[in-house]
Structure 1
Amino acid sequence: MAYISGGLAMLKSVEATLPTSEKKIAAYILSSPESAITMTVKQLADKSQTSTAAVIRLCKSLDLKGFQELKMRIAGDVQKPSSVEYRDIDKGESSHHIIEQMTHNGIQMLRETEEMLRRDDVDQAVQDIYHASSLHIFGVGASGLVAYDAQQKFLRAGRYAFYLQDPHLSYTSLSNAGKNDVALVISFSGETKETIQFLKLAKKNKLRTISITKYGISTISQLADIPLYTSATEEAMIRSAATSSRLAQLHVIDVLFMTYVSNYYDDVIESLDRSRAAIDHKK
């Protein structure tokens, strides 16, 4: 397995929602990550005063392949240089400081998103999109802007991609979708009610489903066949602006699109050339 990290960020993201025994293990690891990476399952269970079964359950709660992957991710975190945490913008700050801080926030969000993305899941999602008759994309609010970007990209790549701003029209379109179609839903929280309804309808119609949510257990990530994750870092006071979280979602779309282009290069290049020619007004 290649160099990976993100174990500590994963634990921080879900710690508050874990059962008591798993929460004790997470708290111990977060307080002593260097020690945890040298332990066996039994040793960690003893140190956290829990059980080996609880350690295994924690790995499942983190959606990891096992304890070894968790240790490797934590080891990667320990080796990384420390970084400044995400911080919101305060009243009266200078434009110079805002530029600096927003740039840092964006970079931090992208780095954490890289840690949350599983390569196997990205490859499977791209394969499903390639074999789909149509791609139905859904998101509301800021996630709707990301859905629109995804539609533009995959249309240019030769996919029939649909994104409709009106949720009711989206449900109507999806109700007539074929079983070979794929649904892609985007929601930072993973709990947006309109998106849950869209996803449930897609499942009812037996479509393959892909979700993009923040890391952690959510209704949407649990319903989707392929859950893809962004950093779970919350944007505090100005959450409605959805700045860094939107950037992370766009990054995942870019990853999906560029992987699609790379995997199916010959087919896609022809489609991109035709798309470019169709909008080129030069004589």
Structure 2
Amino acid sequence: MTTGNIDYRTAIQTGYNSLGAKKRIIADYVLENPMKVISSSVQELAKICDCDQTTIVRFAQQLGFRGYMDLKIAIARQLNSVWAEFTDTKEGEDAGILKKLASRHVNALQNTLASLDEKLLEDICDILEKSSHILAFGAGTSQLAAIDLQIKFLRLGLQIHCFADIELTKTLLGYARENGIIFLFSQSGETEIVTMLAKLAKEEHIPVVAITSFPGSTLALQADYVLVTACSNEPQIRFGVMSARLAQLAVVDALTLLFSMRNQERSWEFIAKGYHDNVE
């Protein structure tokens, strides 16, 4: 049996009397707020329980888990949190899974676009018009949004680079010292390599645009411009992002649309270059 199969409630109840005072506080919080634990980082839980991060990890290990993430996976598995949103049905609610999925996507798109500040987008477009070096980066699924930005900007004649290789992206920061800008995508805003790029860009005085669901995240606090996607409630334990990915793509579309409308003649010139007669 993997540690992810351990019943976390039974493990806590069985070993409760052997826990120290600090660990009992953690145990009580986990039993009372399991869903909050799933979405909390080790730093956040340590702050809530007024202890250090090491105590959180040792608490999980004392229960038989490999570490804190292993504990969170066990909680998520027991609560069926990956599918709970689609299987839990309130009285009078349509039980259709696809309808619930559609509702989630529609809400994410509507809320994201409604919350975007058009003046902020225009300010970013001002920089884009003067930029000779544009970079985009996203890790994991967020890379899809960075690639989409690259494709759309290239079709408008903008010089943009998007590489999955973090070392190559770091190298290209040097070329963006003058008249450059970097777009960084991270749903959580805490992806280590993304926040590292933001820090390096700031040291080079390169404007940083963050696309994230968490305006208080490390990435957002590092950025010069923050475009918030309305997906902060997406489960942390999951088989992959869903609505967050669509929200990121919507932000890309908004940027592209506003920039292209600024100089429609220039935009048409580049858009037309992408179409060719069929050759038989």
Please indicate the TM-score interval, normalised by the length of the shorter structure: 0.5 to 0.7
Residues 179, 205 of structure 1: 8 Å contact kept: no
Q: Is the 8 A contact 1:88 1:235 kept in 2?
A: no
Residue matched to 1:119: 118
- Measure how far apart 1:98 and its partner are: 2.3
1:237 CA drift (Å): 6.7
2:134 and 2:243 mapped to 1: Cα distance? 26
Partner of 1:178 in structure 2? 177
Partner Cα distance (2:166, 2:210) in 1: 17
**Secondary structure of 2:86 counterpart:** coil
Q: Deviations over 1:40-79 (max 9, x none)?
A: xxxxxxxxxxxxxxxxxxxxxxxxxxxxxxxxxxxxxxxx
CA distance in structure 1 between the aligned counterparts of 2:101 and 2:199, rounded to whole angstroms: 36
The residue type paired with residue 200 of structure 1 is K
In the alignment, the residues of structure 2 paired with residue 244 and residue 157 of structure 1 have an alpha-carbon distance, to the nearest angstrom, of 27
Is the CA contact (8 Å cut-off) linking 1:212 and 1:230 kept in structure 2? yes
Inter-partner Cα distance in structure 1 for 2:157 and 2:127? 14
Distance 2:237 2:162 in 1: 27
Looking at structure 1, the residues matched to 133 and 229 of structure 2 have their Cα atoms a distance apart, in angstroms, of: 25
Is the 2:189–2:214 contact (alpha carbons within 8 Å) kept by the matching residues of 1?
A: no
What is the CA-CA distance between 1:116 and the residue it aligns to? 2.3
Query: Where do 5+ consecutive residues of structure 1 fail to align?
Result: 1-16, 18-86
SS of aligned partner of 2:195? helix
**2:162 is equivalent to residue 163 of structure 1:** yes
RMSD (CA atoms): 2.2
Aligned equivalents of 1:134 and 1:237: distance in 2? 34
Secondary structure, aligned partner of 1:176? helix
Counterpart residue type for residue 189 of structure 2: G
Deviation at 1:238, TM superposition (A): 5.6
Structure 1 segments of 4 or more deviating over 4 A?
none
Q: TM-score, length-normalised on structure 1?
A: 0.63
2:215 and 2:221 in contact (8 A); partners too: no
**Based on CA coordinates, which of the two structures has the bigger radius of gyration?**
2
For residues 165 and 278 of structure 2, the distance between their equivalents in structure 1, rounded to whole angstroms, comes to 31
- Normalising by the residue count of structure 2, what TM-score does the alignment of the two structures yield? 0.64
Counterparts of 2:202 and 2:274 in 1: how far apart (Å)?
32
Structure 2 runs not aligned, ≥5 long: 1-43, 45-83, 89-94
